[in-house]
Amino acid sequence: MYEGLKHAHSGIRWILLIALLYAIFNAYNKWKSGASYKDGDRKASLVAFISSHIQLLIGLGLYMMSPKVHAIGESVMKEPIARFFAVEHLAMMIIGIILISVGHIKAKKATDDTQKFKTTFIFFTIGLLVILSRIPWPFQQYGASWF
């Protein structure tokens, strides 16, 4: 179960990254060119929104099972790997997912097409940057790999 969740969490990060990048570039280009908002634009945003929520659910499962979250002996705050996963990764990923969700919902509610693209672009870009700031990069000490 734990290994399965780890593989899923590791794989969905790529789907989320591609979905976010696509939605961000799409929103930026169409915002700047004054294009009208079509169903495909809503779907591009929806795919990023759904993948971020699937990642959140799997992350919560991992949070309960992962040995990396539970420091052995020392307190979580004193052990760098446990602190990273139990506090930093958790907090920043949730903030990133909230930004993506707010962006998706605000864009859906906006009545003006330019405003829809602009909202998606701003919220998704900040959400992506927040996520990138606290994922366990393979070149860091947290034992993550590229795939």
What does the DSSP 8-state code read for residue 142? T
Rule CB under 6 A: choose which of 13, 53, 106, 108 binds ligand HEM. 13
CA distances from 50 to 12, 53, 106 (A): 11, 5, 16
Q: Does 125 engage in binding with ligand HEM (CB under 6 A)?
A: no
| 51 contacts 17 by C-beta, under 8 angstroms | no
Tell me how far CA of residue 128 lies from CA of 2, 18, 19, 34, 65, in angstroms.
26, 11, 11, 24, 26
> Which residue from 48, 93, 107, 122 is in contact with ligand HEM, where contact means CB under 6 A?
93
For ligand HEM, the closer of residues 30 and 59 by Cβ is: 59
CB nearer ligand HEM, residue 55 or residue 125? 55
CB closer to ligand HEM out of 88 and 113: 88
Q: Which of 102, 124, 114 is closest to 36 using CA atoms?
A: 114
Q: Which of 26, 55, 119, 120 binds ligand HEM (CB under 6 A)?
A: 55
Cα distance between residue 87 and residue 26, in whole Å? 33
**Which residues contribute to the site for ligand HEM (CB under 6 A)?**
6, 9-10, 13, 16, 52, 55-56, 59-60, 62-63, 66, 68-69, 85, 89-90, 93-94, 96-97, 131, 135-136, 144-145
